[in-house]
């Protein structure tokens, strides 16, 4: 007799099976991956114990060998020496045309317009922002799979609340290129609220002030018994810690009488790197010395806290302006806000904490690490979506950041889904034809808050054909907008009398097409063997080095157990491993390590016998 396998809704069929699901904070300056282990969300470290991965990718010439790229700390170290091929802050380019990127000419690398989107010229060829982000995401994926020794089931990836449809789609495209199944995209402030709400049992109205490296978000949320309702969002997708660095760098140049346009890419990179260091130092000290090599001479400038606050005052004021607008949208007075959650590494700046505290009249919440809180919240959501969590009380009500609508006659926008609508959502509105005998209707989908199409963002165009010829105004055409849990849009149109219909999944014209994604995936497959070989080499070196350390420790403790010829044999095997570690042959390193492991088996047995004898010495049988 066949038996049914029964499980709770959303839970794994096998109660002992755990799917590896992670939360990923794909940040402008650095990224993290977190997962729920033993019931607690925690950020996953790399082999050196570092949880943060700098969001930096350096591309190398093919003749340079290796994988052709460096990612994270290795790439960051080369930012000054090779600025043209070291890509940082790529998040600002996601889903953008070149003319939409703020201060694009100030970047140390070259951004061009290609296929309707911003792309980057490197020695390894032209790269899209999605390809660069995919390198970072893939590194985090490998870290998670190594941590759990299992394949990744899926990930919840966070995006700024103010990311529009194009930027969200670009993020999903990057994840697809990295081989990651996206369980959901959630807003960064919402992820932070999840982390704080679950850890502290918070209830009431909260503001999440998220100042990262390249973006600023403000979200007003109501937390009630595990329900996270986003009342309003706002912010600036081109405002973050990078801008504070640039403002300080510009101030130093002004003080020194140096024109910014007289500096080359390497000097600009050195200038901004030093500005970031000074900014971070001023969080703990009243003043710091700015020192950088510019145009062949050392430039020094003493910077105190007052100088820094003065030259960045306009940036801080921009964040508060966005906060006021979000409060108005939520119809909440600032004295109704119970607490302010600080998110993003840039909120470590004392001026930010002071100004925000003065604005709301309460000390901001800084209990959790501002760098990690977004990834931790995403990990909690990922764990639930993978069916690992038994906690069914968590309900996430996110919102769309900008209104969605269609173009009507005269270039006007008819909004169908207003901003700050909870998602997922579906909204419909009826329209009619403009001319007698009209048999087709062109629909232009736009996003924005302005009344004219020219002032809004074009998302997609499609045509409803086959409308029966009727008098103008007789046809009834229902247009339906559906926004899924990731904030991505699909639009359908149906003529209600005849039943003809058409629909489109909105993919921005300057995003990646399915063909482009397929080509990039094919390209990644063509280098997969090379990438696997590079990965195997690193793993072989790490294992060999660990074996050497363990063997040396054992010899230091119990080397007297060995005869002279046995010791000579082991020393020779160790020397062989040491010599092989510098080679590029993973198989040779593994073979040398295996020979050492086999050659020390007898020594290991002698050590075990000694340990047992020492443990039993002086004891009676009954005591044992």
Question: Would you name the residues annotated as active-site residues?
Answer: 25, 91, 188, 210
Q: Angle at CA 143, nearest 5°, toward 142 and 144?
A: 90
What span, in angstroms and rounded, lies between the C-alpha atoms of 472 and 84?
Answer: 58
User: DSSP assignment of 266-311, as one string?
Assistant: HHHHHHHHHHHHHHHHTTTSSEEEEEEEETTEEEEEEEEHHHHHHH
Residue 192 sits at φ, ψ, to 5 deg, of -65, -40
Residue among 204, 193, 203 nearest 380 (CA) = 193
Q: Is 527 helix (H, G, I), strand (E, B) or coil?
A: coil
Residues 248 and 303: beta-carbon distance below 8 Å: yes
What span, in angstroms and rounded, lies between the C-alpha atoms of 27 and 375?
Answer: 10
C-alpha distances in Å from residue 105, one per residue of 99, 112, 272: 10, 10, 14
Cis peptide before 594 (omega within 30 of 0): no
Q: Is 378 helix (H, G, I), strand (E, B) or coil?
A: helix
Helix (H) or strand (E) holding 570, with range, is: helix 564-580
User: Which letter, b or e, does each residue of 605-620 get, where b requires 16 or more Cβ atoms within 10 Å of its Cβ?
Assistant: eeeeeeeeeeeeeeee
Alpha carbon distance, N-terminus to C-terminus of the chain: 53
The tokens for 443 are 């629909």
Residue among 74, 400, 49 nearest 219 (CA) = 400
Listed in order, strand segments (DSSP E) in 98-226 are 110-114, 117-122, 125-127, 154-159, 182-187, 204-211, 216-224
């Amino acid at each position: 007799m066949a038996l049914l396998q029964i499980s709770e809704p959303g839970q794994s069929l096998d109660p002992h099976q755990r799917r590896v699901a992670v939360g990923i904070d794909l940040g402008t300056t650095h990224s993290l991956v977190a997962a729920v282990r033993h019931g607690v969300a925690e950020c996953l470290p790399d082999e050196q114990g570092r949880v943060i991965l700098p969001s930096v990718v350096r591309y190398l010439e093919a003749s340079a060998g290796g994988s052709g790229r460096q990612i994270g700390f290795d790439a960051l170290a080369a930012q000054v020496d090779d600025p043209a091929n070291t890509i940082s802050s790529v998040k600002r380019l996601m889903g953008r045309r070149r003319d939409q990127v703020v201060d694009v000419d100030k970047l140390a690398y070259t951004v061009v317009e290609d296929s309707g989107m911003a792309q980057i010229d490197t020695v390894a060829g032209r790269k899209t922002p999605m390809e660069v982000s995919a390198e970072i995401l893939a590194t985090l994926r490998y870290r998670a799979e190594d941590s759990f020794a299992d394949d990744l089931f899926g990930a919840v990836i966070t995006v700024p609340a103010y990311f529009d449809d194009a930027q969200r789609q670009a993020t999903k495209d990057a994840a697809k290129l990295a081989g990651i199944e996206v369980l959901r995209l959630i807003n960064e402030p919402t992820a932070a609220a999840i982390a704080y709400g679950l850890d502290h049992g918070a209830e009431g109205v909260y503001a999440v002030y998220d100042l990262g490296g390249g973006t600023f978000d403000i979200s007003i949320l109501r937390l009630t018994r595990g329900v996270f309702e986003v009342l309003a969002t706002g912010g600036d997708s081109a405002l973050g810690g990078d801008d504070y660095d640039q403002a300080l760098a510009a101030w130093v140049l002004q003080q020194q009488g140096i024109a910014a346009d007289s500096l080359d890419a390497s000097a600009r990179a050195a200038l901004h790197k030093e500005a970031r260091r000074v900014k971070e130092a001023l969080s703990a000290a009243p003043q710091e010395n700015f020192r950088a090599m510019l145009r062949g001479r050392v430039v020094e400038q003493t910077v105190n806290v007052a100088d820094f606050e003065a030259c960045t005052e306009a940036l801080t004021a921009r964040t508060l302006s966005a906060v006021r607008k979000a409060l108005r949208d939520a119809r909440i007075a600032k004295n109704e806000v119970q607490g302010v959650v600080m998110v993003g590494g840039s909120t470590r700046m004392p001026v930010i904490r002071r100004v925000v505290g003065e604005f709301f009249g309460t000390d901001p919440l800084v209990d959790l690490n501002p760098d990690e809180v977004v990834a931790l919240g995403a990990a909690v959501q990922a764990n639930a979506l993978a069916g690992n969590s038994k906690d069914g009380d968590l309900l996430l009500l996110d919102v769309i950041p900008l209104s969605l609508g269609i173009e009507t006659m005269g270039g006007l926008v008819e909004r169908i889904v207003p901003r700050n609508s909870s998602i997922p959502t579906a909204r419909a509105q009826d329209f009619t034809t403009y001319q007698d005998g009209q048999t087709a209707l062109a629909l232009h989908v736009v996003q924005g808050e302005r009344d004219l199409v020219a002032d809004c963002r074009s998302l997609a165009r499609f045509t409803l054909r086959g409308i029966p010829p009727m008098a103008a105004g007789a046809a009834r055409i229902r247009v339906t907008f559906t926004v899924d849990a990731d904030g991505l849009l699909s639009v359908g149109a149906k003529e209600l009398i005849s039943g003809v219909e058409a629909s489109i999944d909105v993919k921005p014209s300057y995003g990646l097409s399915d063909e482009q994604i397929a080509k990039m995936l094919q390209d990644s497959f063509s280098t997969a063997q090379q990438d696997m070989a590079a990965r195997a080499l690193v793993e072989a070196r790490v294992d060999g080095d660990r074996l050497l350390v363990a063997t040396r420790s054992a010899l230091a403790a119990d080397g007297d157990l060995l005869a002279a010829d046995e010791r000579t044999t082991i020393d020779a095997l160790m020397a062989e491993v040491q010599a092989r570690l510098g080679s590029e042959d993973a198989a040779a390193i593994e073979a040398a390590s295996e020979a050492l492991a086999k050659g020390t088996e007898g020594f290991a047995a002698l050590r075990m016998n000694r340990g047992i004898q020492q443990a039993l010495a002086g004891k009676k049988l009954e005591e044992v």
